[in-house]
Amino acid sequence: MNVFIEPIGKLINQFTKLPGVGAKTAQRYAYKVINMTEEDAAEFAESILNAKRLVHYCKVCGNFTDKDVCDVCATRDNSVICVVKEPKDVLAMEKAHEFKGVYHVLHGTISPMDGITPNDIRIKELLERISQGGVKEVIMATNPDVEGEATAMYISSLLKPLGIKVTRLAHGIPIGSELEYADEITISRALLDRKEL
Amino acid sequence: MNVFIEPIGKLINQFTKLPGVGAKTAQRYAYKVINMTEEDAAEFAESILNAKRLVHYCKVCGNFTDKDVCDVCATRDNSVICVVKEPKDVLAMEKAHEFKGVYHVLHGTISPMDGITPNDIRIKELLERISQGGVKEVIMATNPDVEGEATAMYISSLLKPLGIKVTRLAHGIPIGSELEYADEITISRALLDRKEL
């Protein structure tokens, strides 16, 4: 005899598809759903369908939006473009409340090992945006890993001949962390990029 | 400007209703859903609706089932009843693959502090089951906390006059754990209930 009846087993199975959710957590989530009111469960199910149905990529920057052109592209300073790997990186940037320009989501980084070439990510779209004029600076905010660095260097090599200023997010010791726990590469980078006080 | 567009914000909000899910985890779940295929998202939403629609309480034992009488009640030894607080406790018992009898889910334990009296949990239903005859033993498997112990004692006091054997799950040091980390109450209980080798 199966431990779970079918509808519960199926729901648990669905929850395990979420990142970092194992059998035990999925089971807790499923029991929570069963204890919800009928309306709350319906609302939950609908929010999943709506998120999938209404959300698509902004035709300018490639970030998620429920409009044709996202609010950021429609309302902010178009002369500075911040290039990121994924939509969730836009979120991370926005939470800092520091950047006032617009974004360009590459949807990946160049990775020959995984067969991802410059043609597989949204570099062509970035060049098209820039060819329309008005862009003064492009900030490369791809991750500080091998692929992210390579992608930043590659795009930089395409843009510099066009007279565009290309910058990269600073690397260093994270604010609020302890030097003791910083890895050696971060420390050596922070040392190289040290600033005069 | 809101960081999240509405459909994503709503979905994140729904995920935070799950136990132990904070804003950051809910956000990861939501992005996962958006990256699912249309079919997978539909299946996910449907499994939530189905779990809510098809699952109800077994009219005999009170556990979750999608039938009138659950598979356990319908097929197993009805002479031994294991009494538990909640449906998820049935699951915990079943995973041990040791118990061959049936269950009775109380849906709560007596807790005067929270205003839960014997009339608020399924004790009457338990007595009705027993009055139909054939029950030889009732195993009290409520939690080893104040409410669980009180409920076990109370039910035991009702059943003993009826000539029913009432037992309680053994307490002691958990298998696989270390004595060093066991709390003092568990150790003193394990000492009192020590067995001759």
What does B65-112 look like in DSSP terms, one character per residue?
ESSSS-HHHHHS-TTEEEEESSHHHHHHHHHTT---SEEEE-SS--BG
- Residue B2: predicted pLDDT: 61
Range with lowest mean pLDDT among A20-29, A69-78, B2-11: B2-11
Residue range B103-127: average pLDDT? Answer: 95
pLDDT value for A1: 46
Q: Which of A5, A20, A45 is facing B45, going by the closest CB pair?
A: A45
ipTM above threshold 0.95:
no
Mean pLDDT of B36-50: 94
The answer, yes or no, to whether residue A196 has pLDDT greater than 80, is no
pLDDT in tens, B184-196: 888 888 888 887 7
What digits encode the pLDDT tens for the residues A84-109?
999 989 988 888 888 999 999 999 99
At B1, the pLDDT band (50, 70, 90 cuts) reads very low
Among A14, A38, A64, whose Cβ lies nearest the Cβ of B8? A64
Instruction: Give A-chain residues touching B66 at CB under 8 angstroms.
Output: 5-7
Residues on chain B touching A14 (C-beta within 8 angstroms): 43-44, 47-48
Distance CA B65, CA B71 (A): 8
What integer pLDDT is reported at residue A176 of this predicted model?
79
Q: Is A55 on the interface with B (CB under 8 A)?
A: yes
Residue B66: pLDDT over 80: yes
Helices of type H across chain B: 6-15, 23-34, 38-54, 71-75, 87-95, 123-131, 146-159, 184-192
Q: What are phi and psi of A144, to 5 degrees?
A: -80, 45
A4 contacts chain B (CB < 8 A): yes
Which of B10, B38, B54 shows the shortest C-beta gap to A52? B38
Determine contact: A24 vs chain B, CB below 8 A: no
Q: Which tens digits make up the pLDDT trace of A5-64?
A: 899 999 999 999 999 999 999 999 999 999 999 999 999 999 999 999 999 999 999 999
Give residues 72 to 101 of A whose Cβ lies within 8 Å of B: 72, 75, 87-88, 91, 94-95
Reply yes or no on whether the pLDDT at B173 is more than 70.
yes
Rounded Cα distance between A27 and A9, Å, is 9
Interface list for B 115-144 with A (CB within 8 A):
none
User: What are the structural domains of chain B?
Assistant: 6-54 (1.10.8.420), 73-169 (3.40.1360.10)
The chain-wide mean pLDDT, for chain A, equals 91
Facing B55 at nearest CB: one of A13, A34, A70: A34
Number of Cβ pairs < 8 A linking chain A and chain B? 146
What residues of A are in contact with residue B57 (Cβ under 8 Å)?
none
